């Protein structure tokens, strides 16, 4: 226990009233700081995966409560390995599907997702979805940004929805984009594409119709 001892003070005036400066200093020491200065934890804005509304959470926390719907939100990163029993993953953190995984009927809701192994199912990512392994996905993919690596063959039965899609491999899917679809050199996209902008680099191919839609 720290010892508490009062500080003697000598006041130059006979009234005993503290001088203005000293009085303010002592008031400040014993008062709560104003509300605006009290928050010192860094916050992160997230979209609640239960109600879909934006809410602020401490960025270093492992879980948080949505300020709108009071849902308990997980914020930890999740690794999905071969033989993993967890087929439904909901987190505000990142998800990695390991290279040795062969899984189906996954339901993944997360920030960034790294698909290094085979994982068929439904993906909803508020950030990046990166596919680095051949996959046949019976389901759909949704992400702010999606990247398909060079040499990867990807088949998606129920389509891709991505603000931005960057393909360096070979993708068979219907694509709906809010910003742009970029087919890098040597890439191939098979399927209808709805996007404000479709960029086909030299040597890349799009087989299917392009419907130019207005950006949001
Ligand atoms: Zn919520």
Domains of the chain, by residue range, sit at: 38-75, 77-212
| Average pLDDT value for residue range 62-75 | 92
Q: Give me ligand 1 centre to Cα 54, in Å.
A: 8
Question: What are the phi and psi torsion angles at 55 (to 5°)?
Answer: -145, 155
Q: Give me ligand 1 centre to Cα 55, in Å.
A: 8
Q: Is the pLDDT of residue 50 over 80?
A: yes
Q: Is the pLDDT of residue 16 over 70?
A: no
Q: Give me ligand 1 centre to Cα 72, in Å.
A: 8
Q: Give me ligand 1 centre to Cα 18, in Å.
A: 51
Q: Which of 12-26, 109-123, 139-153 has the lowest mean pLDDT?
A: 12-26
| Average pLDDT value for residue range 73-80 | 93
DSSP string, the chain: -----PPP---SSTT-PPPHHHHHHHHHHHSPPPHHHH--S-EEEEE-TTT--EEEEETT-SEEE-TTT--EEE---EEE-TT----EEE-SS-EEE-TT-EEEEEEEEESSEEE-SEEEEEEEEEEEEEE-S-EEESS-EEEEEEEE-TT-EEEESS-EEEEEEEESSEEES-EEEEEEEEE-TT-EEES-EEESEEEE-TT-EEES-EEE----
Report pLDDT for 14: 67
The whole-chain average pLDDT of the chain stands at 90
Q: Is the pLDDT of residue 122 over 90?
A: yes
Q: Give me ligand 1 centre to Cα 36, in Å.
A: 24
Q: Give me ligand 1 centre to Cα 68, in Å.
A: 5
Q: Give me ligand 1 centre to Cα 20, in Å.
A: 49
Q: Give me ligand 1 centre to Cα 109, in Å.
A: 14
Integer Cα distance of 194 and 57 in angstroms: 34
Q: How many angstroms separate the most distant Cα atoms in the chain?
A: 94
Q: Give me ligand 1 centre to Cα 209, in Å.
A: 38
Q: Give me ligand 1 centre to Cα 73, in Å.
A: 8
Confidence category of residue 47, pLDDT binned at 50, 70, 90: confident
104 neighbors 123 (Cβ within 8 angstroms): no
CA atoms within 13 A on the CB side of 191: 19
Structure token pair of residue 73: 């939100």
Confidence category of residue 40, pLDDT binned at 50, 70, 90: confident
Which pTM does this prediction carry? 0.78
Integer Cα distance of 159 and 211 in angstroms: 15
| Average pLDDT value for residue range 31-42 | 71
Structure token pair of residue 57: 């959470």
Report pLDDT for 184: 97
Q: Give me ligand 1 centre to Cα 52, in Å.
A: 6
Q: Is the pLDDT of residue 160 over 90?
A: yes
Report pLDDT for 30: 77
Report pLDDT for 12: 66
Confidence category of residue 109, pLDDT binned at 50, 70, 90: very high
| CA 205 to centroid of chain Cα atoms | 31
Question: What are the phi and psi torsion angles at 8 (to 5°)?
Answer: -70, 140
Confidence category of residue 150, pLDDT binned at 50, 70, 90: very high
Q: Is the pLDDT of residue 1 over 70?
A: no
Report pLDDT for 13: 64
Question: What are the phi and psi torsion angles at 35 (to 5°)?
Answer: -55, -40
């Amino acid at each position: 226990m720290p010892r508490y001892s009062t500080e003697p003070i000598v006041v130059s005036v006979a009234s005993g009233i503290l001088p203005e400066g000293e009085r303010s200093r002592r008031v400040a020491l014993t008062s709560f700081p104003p509300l605006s200065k009290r928050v010192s934890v860094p916050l992160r804005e997230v979209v609640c995966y239960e109600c879909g509304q934006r809410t602020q959470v401490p960025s270093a926390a492992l879980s948080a409560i949505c300020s709108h719907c009071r849902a308990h939100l997980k914020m930890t990163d999740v690794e999905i390995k071969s033989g993993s029993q967890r087929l439904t993953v909901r987190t505000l953190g990142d998800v990695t599907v390991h290279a040795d995984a062969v899984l189906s009927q996954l339901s993944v809701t997360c920030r960034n997702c790294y698909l290094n192994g085979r994982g068929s199912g439904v993906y909803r990512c508020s950030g990046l979805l990166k596919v680095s392994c051949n996959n046949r996905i019976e389901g759909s993919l949704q992400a702010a940004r999606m990247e398909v690596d060079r040499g990867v063959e990807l088949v998606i039965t129920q389509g891709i929805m991505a603000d931005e899609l960057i393909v360096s491999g070979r993708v068979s899917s219907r694509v709906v984009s809010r910003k742009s679809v970029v087919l890098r050199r040597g890439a191939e996209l098979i399927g209808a594409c709805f996007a404000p902008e479709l960029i086909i680099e030299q040597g890349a191919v799009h087989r299917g119709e392009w419907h130019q839609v207005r950006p949001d």
